[in-house]
Amino acid sequence: MSPSPNGRTVGFVWSPEFERFDYGRRHPLRVGRFQMAFDLVNEAGLLEGSVRLIDPVPLSDEMLVRIHSEEYIKQVKQISLTGQGEIDIDTPGFKGIYEYGQLSCGATLTGVREVASGRLNHFLSPTGGFHHAKYDSGGGFCIFNDVAAAVLALKDLGFERILVADFDVHHGNGTQTYFYEDPDVMIISFHEDPEWMYPHDGHIGDIGAGKGRGYNINMHFPMDSCDSVYRYAFDQLVPSLVEFYQPEFILFLPGFDAHYNDPLAHLKITTNMIRYVAQYMHDAAHTWSEGRLGVLSAGGYDATAFGWGLGTVLSVLTGLKYSPPKQTPPFDDDEETWDIVRSNVQDVKDAVFPALGIS
């Protein structure tokens, strides 16, 4: 593992303003999450050397009206002004929520533009990955969809093959709706089985439509899946898809909430698997995308596991050493889990590979 080549740096998008939200004391997304993560990677020495701190620029009103309806934007503004109402049942409103959404999503676009310009090789944002927001609604702790905004910004800059590698444990239902018929965007999503996991979609048969058929890939896992079956599915699917697509830019959501300590999900992976996936995405970016890689932290609701995951991915991007404590999931993959995962992998191959012409 080596630092980014050609003297270019890794950006860590950061502002103390990331803490200016208030979903309530009992909400899984709590104040202190981002400062804790910043302190962890800083104390671990992961913000040294080639790493630059990048100030986020809030998402512009012009971009917002491209990714969301005027009616929805008006609704968020009203909630933001009064502090009354909710984005969705799981996403309470608070005063300033509109401006907060602009900042937390703008962090993603700030990083994307820095990388696209060549000033950075990679970036990581401890916020972002708000993949549940749709054109006319929010929810799932998401106000605005920064992934959709980032893709549109990249298209404006002339990028034609954009990979969204989404390993968040919850399916990115919002992002899927924007690009379901678009072959310029490949979305690979690994997530927990939608039968029992929010947002209860992201089925294997949902492979895109029209010219985008085959470019929307959903691989889901039964609860209690561990590193072994996860790595099997990854190795069977992801390299073939990425090598076929040869992306020009990669947006990567690592899936910190798939960790076995996460209270909102039921997968049992460790940071060893997070490192494995991150290392592949880093190498793929240097192979196909001239190093252009953006990491959006997305979910992760156990503070300790979130910090371990963030440190692990940042160490991959920078080449700086970081090792989280040894982790021991409560059990290993059993034969029933293996049978389900093998079957799901084959179903994905049968649905997607012929549509793309992958043998």
User: d(Cα 36, Cα 40) in Å, to the nearest integer?
Assistant: 6
Residue 334 to residues 22, 65, 229, 291, 337, Cα–Cα distance (Å): 41, 48, 9, 38, 5
Q: Is residue 2 part of a domain?
A: no
The predicted model scores a pTM of 0.96
User: d(Cα 75, Cα 78) in Å, to the nearest integer?
Assistant: 5
* CB 186, CB 245: distance < 8 Å: yes
- The CATH number linked to 60 is 3.40.800.20
User: d(Cα 236, Cα 350) in Å, to the nearest integer?
Assistant: 12
Q: Is residue 186 part of a domain?
A: yes
**DSSP E strand boundaries for the chain:** 9-13, 51-54, 86-88, 91-92, 120-125, 162-166, 185-192, 216-221, 249-253, 293-296
Number of domains in the chain: 1
Q: Is residue 1 part of a domain?
A: no
Show the domain range for 329.
Answer: 7-356
- The catalytically annotated residue of 68, 122, 131, 132 is 132
Residues pairing with 10 in the sheet: 51, 122
Q: What is the pLDDT along the chain (359 residues), one digit of tens a residue?
A: 334 444 558 999 999 999 988 888 888 888 888 998 899 999 999 998 889 999 999 999 999 999 999 999 999 999 999 999 999 888 899 999 999 999 999 999 999 999 999 999 999 999 999 999 999 999 999 999 999 999 999 999 999 999 999 999 999 999 999 999 999 999 999 999 999 999 999 999 999 999 999 999 999 999 999 999 999 999 999 999 999 999 999 999 999 999 999 999 999 999 999 999 999 999 999 999 999 999 999 889 998 999 999 999 999 999 999 999 998 999 999 999 999 999 999 999 999 999 999 98
* CB 63, CB 152: distance < 8 Å: yes
* Beta-carbon-side half-sphere exposure of residue 352 (alpha carbons within 13 Å): 31
Cis link prior to 92 (omega < 30° from 0)?
Answer: no
Q: Is 132 a catalytic residue?
A: yes
Q: What is the DSSP string of 140-182?
A: TTBSS-HHHHHHHHHHHTT---EEEEE--SS--HHHHHHHTT-
